[in-house]
Structure 1
Amino acid sequence: MSKDVLELPLDVTATRPILEHIANKWTVLILSVLCTQPARFNDLKRRLDGITHKALSEALKRLERNGLVSRKVLPTQPIGVEYTITALGCSLREPFAALYNWSLANGSAMERAQRAYDTSRRDERLEEEI
């Protein structure tokens, strides 16, 4: 096998549950925001355009349970909660940065591929109707 090809053992049983927790869009985005500084719930919600209250709440609970985020109750009136990325969560910074950079570099290529695919599928359906 070529040295340019990354060889990885495929242990789906061991990796699937972990990847399901860290590879969803909200986890990546929440941890990316928290990598820069701790944030309160509403600040996260504002910065993560499109996330619902329920989705953010569930994601933060999941991240806290998995040891990627810590939650601190603030002695304010009304009581506030601040979320901070943990050392374990910070260890995802480099892989997430690589994914982010890849998406910036390749997003337009994916969009072109999607349009080409959609066009060819539409043409196939039209031919079937004729």
Structure 2
Amino acid sequence: MGLDHVRLAMPAGMEGAARGFYEGLLGLAEVPKPLNLAGRGGCWFERGEARIHLGIDPAFSPARKAHPALLVDDLSRFLLRLEAAGVPIMQDAPLAGCERCYVSDPFGNRIELMQCTG
């Protein structure tokens, strides 16, 4: 039927870094976690249909291959903002009408950014 959200792990106590990256740089808004989950730490972000939930994992290991792919409307402009913030960009070959690249969140999780023209 559809996808509700993607969950990524993060280390404990790093919510500020998550907010700086996902909200400040990627432009996703933080949304409140349900009260029954709020005490577990982590943060939830969304924009349109893109929903990323970051949860605390005591045995944290970054997702370096598995990743969410976020659609953007102006990849070049988006990358300029990320580069200005010191975020390394990993280019990749286009896919069927989509320019794309990868970045890592502050915890090493892989994030794909895509702009599709058709």
- Bigger radius of gyration, 1 or 2? 1
Higher helix share: 1
Structure with the bigger RCO (C-alpha within 8 Å, sep 6+) is 2
Same fold at TM > 0.5: no
TM-score (norm 1): 0.29
